[in-house]
Homo-oligomer: A and B are copies of this chain.
Amino acid sequence: MQTVKGTRDLMPEDMRIREYVMDKIKQVFEVYGFQPLDTPALESWEVLSKKEAGGKDVLKEAYDFEDKAGRRIGLRYDLTIPLARLIASNPNLNLPFKRYQAGKIWRYDDVSKGRFREFSQMDIDIIGSDSVLADAEIISCTIDCFKALKFENFYIKLNNRRILSDLADYAGVEKKLDVFRIIDKLEKVGSDEVRKQMEAIVSKESAKKILDFIKIKGSNQEVLKKAGKIIKSKGLEELKEILSYVNSDKVKVDLSLARGLDYYTGPIYEVFADKEIGSVAAGGRYDKLIGLFLNKDVPATGISFGIDRLIEIMKIKTENKTKVFVIAVNDKVREKVLDIVKLLRDKKIETDFDLRSRSLSSQLKYASSMKIPFTVIVGENELAKKSVKLRNMKTGKEELVKIKGLYKKF
């Protein structure tokens, strides 16, 4: 009896980390004025595959099937396509619409690479602003999220699809999306392999022009300057403007960043926080996507946080939220335990007690293995003094405490 391949249970200790991460991120989203939204996990196949929406590759990984009435439906493979559908079907929405959403998504991906098929994302998007201020807003918010999570060595790669598109024009390349997909592999497979793959679909000369360009290195200012000497691109201007708004050493212009999805039209970005693992958040501007669902384009930009990857690299320990376990030394005092539990819970103190009529030592063992920081030991001698023993489970120290004021100890 196992979980479905590519899915997993999150036990309490894992869940506490996930909740910590998601709460922190949510707080920052709200400080930036993003509003909560939820959309269904199920969408019609018409929506999920609208003019190839996220692209052929992602559609191949979608979980789709027929419902009992023969409707073709599927599980969402991202939170962006459902948002586009929502925007298109709510024409009277106040724009810009800044929303955040947390939820699971499903992709039939290669599990041998440690990928999950059901995983959690948190997204922010700004719909209805074509200003790079909106892109800067997404990037600044992202930086603050990683700071809130106490990451120190994270950085954001920044590029612009307009630059890549102008580069392709300059290199005389037509199959732009195919070239973008190869460019995106530079860091992973290296320069030689990229050249090889590129030369399979474009001329040697074109490949060289592209490779020389995307390998430009230096400070953000230097990269933009060098690139500007090779091509003229509105994309370069946009990056300059974004950098002036964001003004953080966490942002690194990287001309080889291309992003896998087809629908990006402007600035694109990916966050790296750990050497062992790929990007933990990624996004960009997609001004044409909502237009697939509507008879007009609506500008949009946003980012997705991969919560599962973030949790994997978080090196935090969370405590059991249950603060105290109330223990009966024998059966005679079990009713009194119930009274004390109620007294503490009424004060909103996370309290638990034995539900299995166990011995004192078994109860202590359970509280210890559950990593509950305090136990209250209820015995007849102490009750005679209207008191109980309070035990700090870490230090082993015990003290006699009056029941009346017990709650103040937590």
Write the residues of chain A forming the contact surface with B, with a CB cutoff of 8 angstroms.
Answer: 1-5, 7-12, 14-16, 18-19, 27, 30-33, 35-44, 46-47, 50, 63, 65-69, 71, 73, 75, 85-86, 88-89, 94-96, 98-99, 104, 106, 108, 117-118, 126, 128-129, 131, 133-134, 137, 144, 245, 293, 320-322, 325, 338, 345, 348-353, 355-357, 366, 369-370
Known: A94-B366, A99-B12, A338-B245. A345 touches B1 (CB 8 A): no
The answer on a CB contact under 8 Å between A345 and B96 is no
Chain B residue contacts of A43, Cβ below 8 A: 3-4
- Of chain B, the residue at the smallest CB distance from A130 is B356
Chain B residue contacts of A12, Cβ below 8 A: 35-37, 99
Show 25 residue pairs from A and B whose CB-CB distance is below 8 angstroms, ordered by the A residue.
Answer: A1-B85, A2-B89, A3-B85, A4-B42, A5-B69, A8-B40, A9-B40, A9-B86, A10-B39, A12-B36, A12-B37, A27-B348, A31-B349, A31-B351, A33-B351, A35-B320, A40-B118, A42-B118, A96-B355, A96-B356, A129-B356, A131-B355, A133-B355, A144-B345, A245-B338
**Distance, CA A4 to CA B47, complexed state (A):** 10
Known: A108-B67, A245-B338, A348-B27. A94 touches B40 (CB 8 A): no
The answer on a CB contact under 8 Å between B106 and A42 is yes
- Of chain B, the residue at the smallest CB distance from A95 is B356
- Of chain B, the residue at the smallest CB distance from A321 is B30
**Distance, CA A38 to CA B102, complexed state (A):** 14
Chain B residue contacts of A42, Cβ below 8 A: 4, 7, 63, 106, 117-118
Additional A-B contact list (5), CB under 8 Å, known A41-B75, A42-B118: A31-B345, A31-B350, A33-B353, A42-B106, A245-B338
- Of chain B, the residue at the smallest CB distance from A3 is B40
**Distance, CA A128 to CA B366, complexed state (A):** 13
The answer on a CB contact under 8 Å between B126 and A44 is no
**Distance, CA A11 to CA B98, complexed state (A):** 12
- Of chain B, the residue at the smallest CB distance from A38 is B10
The answer on a CB contact under 8 Å between B345 and A118 is no
Chain B residue contacts of A352, Cβ below 8 A: 32-33, 98
The answer on a CB contact under 8 Å between A37 and B65 is no
Chain B residue contacts of A38, Cβ below 8 A: 9-10, 14-15, 18
The answer on a CB contact under 8 Å between A40 and B4 is yes
Chain B residue contacts of A131, Cβ below 8 A: 355-357
**Distance, CA A108 to CA B50, complexed state (A):** 25
- Of chain B, the residue at the smallest CB distance from A356 is B129
A16 in complex: contacting residue of B36, B65, B128, CB < 8 Å: B36
The answer on a CB contact under 8 Å between B104 and A41 is yes
Chain B residue contacts of A65, Cβ below 8 A: 63, 65-66
A94 in complex: contacting residue of B108, B321, B325, B369, CB < 8 Å: B369
The answer on a CB contact under 8 Å between B11 and A37 is yes
Chain B residue contacts of A128, Cβ below 8 A: 356
- Of chain B, the residue at the smallest CB distance from A338 is B245
A30 in complex: contacting residue of B1, B63, B350, CB < 8 Å: B350
Known: A63-B67, A66-B65. A35 touches B322 (CB 8 A): yes
Chain B residue contacts of A27, Cβ below 8 A: 348
**Distance, CA A320 to CA B323, complexed state (A):** 33
A312 to chain B, nearest CB (A): 15
- Of chain B, the residue at the smallest CB distance from A96 is B355
